[in-house]
Amino acid sequence: MKSETMLPLGKVDPGLREPDTPLDVRTIAEEASRLEELGFHGIAVEECKDDPYQQLTLASVNTTTLDLATSIAMAFPRSPTITAMSAWTLQKMSGGRLILGLGSQVRGHIRRRYGMEWSAPAPRMRDYILAMRAVWRCWQDREPLNHDGDHYKLDLMVPLFDPGPIEHPEIPIHISAINTNMCAVVGEVADGIRLHPVCSPKYIEEVMIPAVAKGSARSNRNPDEVDWCMKPLVATASDEASLAGVAESVRARVGFYLATPAYKAAFEV
């Protein structure tokens, strides 16, 4: 088991709620160094108000052992080649410490915030990851770029845009997943799964683990090879009065998710 934490230091509420102390990107390098000194295995950054790849670039500067995870970065607003290059650069700069956590987002945000077309997320994510790996093989193994998927078709790579091999080419890919189709994609093509806070132990055991195993069978993989990354809602405070307010905030978050169709399945078990 490994421990990772989020920025800003002390943030215990992943997701939509505004943190009590917003992240100051100018402190990331210093805070990441402190986390490494405290003994954390990794740092995870969100894609909310600041670019996750730039955040991790800053976190890599003064650290040598800290895992650097996007938890998560949006996949579909970026082409697979763009994400592949961002990850390649970070992996090269950090000496092989990147964990690329990707998420699909929900229909409304993809269409209305990013201005992109929406399609079924699970098959698209599968194609996205296979396309990225085709790009990486092109750069690392010098094989021609040739990915012909249902959503992405890539067959052009010229020397000017080819960064070439790196020392640590194996970049772990994690997927944010709740529903069974995306869990199966994790098992088939990804290295890890990043759980939403609404996923209860019962839902994980009865729904998600079997779905990941089903996907693993498609690729003749051992499902035990998949890393499971938990990100629970936590209520903590220095006194009872403050704790009551924090607990109420957590309950409000759960209520919000209960009203979100994409998370409905997790509440039905």
Tell me phi and psi for residue 102, to 5 degrees: -120, 150
Q: What is the DSSP letter of 145?
A: P
8 preceded by cis ω (within 30°)? Answer: yes
Residues 168-178 pLDDT 10s:
999 999 999 99
- By C-alpha distance, which of 50, 59, 63 is closest to 23? 50
| pLDDT at residue 207, rounded to an integer | 97
Cis peptide before 178 (omega within 30 of 0): no
C-beta atoms surrounding 68 within 10 Å:
27
**pTM, entire model:** 0.93
Which pLDDT belongs to residue 133? 99
For the stretch 137-159, pLDDT in tens is 999 999 999 999 999 999 999 99
Domain 4-120+168-267 fold is TIM Barrel (3.20.20)
When pLDDT is cut at 50, 70 and 90, the band that residue 257 belongs to is confident
Write down the domain spans for the chain.
4-120+168-267
